[in-house]
Amino acid sequence: QLSVFIKLIEFDRNDKTSLIIALNELENDEIDGAIIAPVFPEETKAFLDKKQDLPYVFIDSPLPDLKPLTSLAQEPYQSGYVAGKMMALLAKEWGTFIVIESHSDAFNSRERARGFSSFFDSFKECKVREALIRFNGDGKEKLQRIFTEETDIKGIFIVNDATHRLAEVLDMLSLKKRPIIIGFDLIEQNKEAMRQGKIDCLISQRPFYQGYTALYHLYRKCVLSQEIEEEIIIPIDIVLPENLSSFDQQ
């Protein structure tokens, strides 16, 4: 009834080519605005350079040096720092902590890893090791190698929603003691793994709220010509097994 039409275009975040194909699909379309998750920064910038008159909003991650109408995202460095503090509380002992990234070129992933590592900078008893693992090939072998090289791993922080995949691989390794596992996003696979006791902590980014609010603000600006906030910071929701049921609607 508001004469708004939404076109959803999906891409594989493990494949830059799929994003380029998706963006090319938009180039010749007459669109009035876009909501973009800029997980591939360079490809996103290249597209927006071609569509300089296109109003757009970022969700999931900010992207420095670009000027969206607004962006809806957590402070990625702060969320990584909070994950470090939660790791220290849950692990209860010092040792080696592993940070796993799946997409090293994603701005929010890099910043989360940096925030996590910086929390432990002042604790000389701790070692933080970063690893790039995509879990769609040799993930098990890479993790096995890390556990062979590091004998006192107390916790693993994964900077995106692949936390359940990490839990599956750890099951296959048959470890004597499972390290603390902290990750992101309340996708159903992660919630189920937490219910089974395989994930200790998740950080939620309120995806429903992000999508709803992004479209609402795009509508306010482009249709109603209203002023909108330049940045909307998403709270850092800490989810534990004890309060998981409170987040079932996310």
pLDDT at 134: 81
Can you tell me the mean pLDDT for 121-134? 91
pLDDT for 249: 61
In angstroms, rounded to a whole number, what is the distance separating the alpha carbons of residues 6 and 118?
41
pLDDT at 151 over 60: yes
**Residue range 106-122: mean pLDDT, rounded:** 93
Q: Are 106 and 61 in contact (CB under 8 A)?
A: yes
Cα gap 208→69, rounded to integer Å: 19
Structure tokens at 140: 């098990």
Reported as a pLDDT band with limits 50, 70 and 90, residue 248 is: confident
Find the mean pLDDT for residues 130-141: 83
How big, in percent rounded to 5, are the helix, strand and coil portions of the chain? 45, 20, 40
* pTM listed for this prediction: 0.90
Residue 193 has pLDDT above 90, yes or no: yes
* Separation CA 81–CA 72 (nearest Å): 19
72-106 pLDDT, tens digit per residue, is: 999 999 999 999 999 999 999 999 999 999 877 78
pLDDT recorded at residue 26 = 79
Q: Which of 32-41, 129-138, 150-159, 208-217 has the lowest mean pLDDT?
A: 129-138
Instruction: Give the pLDDT mean for 130-135.
Output: 88
pLDDT surpasses 60 at 49:
yes
First-last CA distance in the chain:
27
